[in-house]
Amino acid sequence: MKQVRRNWIVWFSLLLFAVGAAGAAEPYKLRHGDSMLVSVWKDEALRMEVRVLPDGSITFPLAGRVEVAGLSTSEAESRIAARLVRFIPDVAVTVTVTGIEGSRVYVLGKVVTPGPVLLSSPNTTVLQVLSQAGGLDRFADGNGIKVLRNTAEGPRTFTVRYNDLIRGNELQSNVVLVPGDTILVP
């Protein structure tokens, strides 16, 4: 009986840990180019899809221009509600992300399908995006691939050693991408 109770406690502790770890995930942050559905409870006229503009703002009736880039949906809800409260005293705003077009990287050079690629997860790597671009063409320099990234400190360049990566070597060169990165395949 003691062993059953001990096993039950272990399993319950593991379950609580797993639920806590899942709840600790970072919420999605809005980016320019993203689209979202903004709705005000009990007011169909204030329900519309909007796109985050390049300056990071949206325009919403009665609220005007509202900065939302870099905010989670709950933070955007609060910011929009704060602008609407003078017109609607007990306002309840809901923001739902409907498109993540702001989460793009760009693939240029000797790949089968160059162009923009949407990042489907926060940990998308160069190999995954190159796969989405159809892979390298036969004339590409696999170990000469560069990732260009603009940061607050200035532009950065990362070298990707594709030929070594697919052999299981140089795994650290499989860069995790961020929106706005450019992959150059010579």
Domain locations in the chain as residue ranges: 35-99, 104-185
**Is 32 in contact with 69 (CB distance < 8 Å)?**
yes
pLDDT at 3: 52
pTM of the model: 0.69
Residue 1's pLDDT is 52
Please name the fold of domain 35-99: wza like fold (3.30.1950)
Which whole number is the average pLDDT over 83-107? 94
* Superfamily for domain range 104-185: Outer membrane lipoprotein wza domain like (3.10.560.10)
Q: Could you check whether 35-99 and 104-185 share the same CATH topology?
A: no
User: Which of 2-16, 94-108, 156-170 is predicted with the least confidence, judged by mean pLDDT?
Assistant: 2-16
Q: Which two tokens stand for residue 172?
A: 């650290």
Whether 69 and 31 have beta carbons less than 8 Å apart is answered as yes
Give residue-wise pLDDT tens across range 16-49: 444 444 445 688 899 999 999 999 999 999 999 9
Contact 49, 36 (CB under 8 A): yes
Query: Which range (9-18, 53-62, 126-135) has the least confidence?
Result: 9-18
Q: Which has more confidence, 75 or 120?
A: 75
Which are the contacts of 45, defined by CB distance < 8 A and separation ≥ 6? 61
- pLDDT category of residue 120 using cuts at 50, 70 and 90: confident
List, for residues 74-89, the tens digit of each pLDDT value.
999 999 999 999 999 9
- Is the distance from CB of 154 to CB of 145 less than 8 angstroms? no
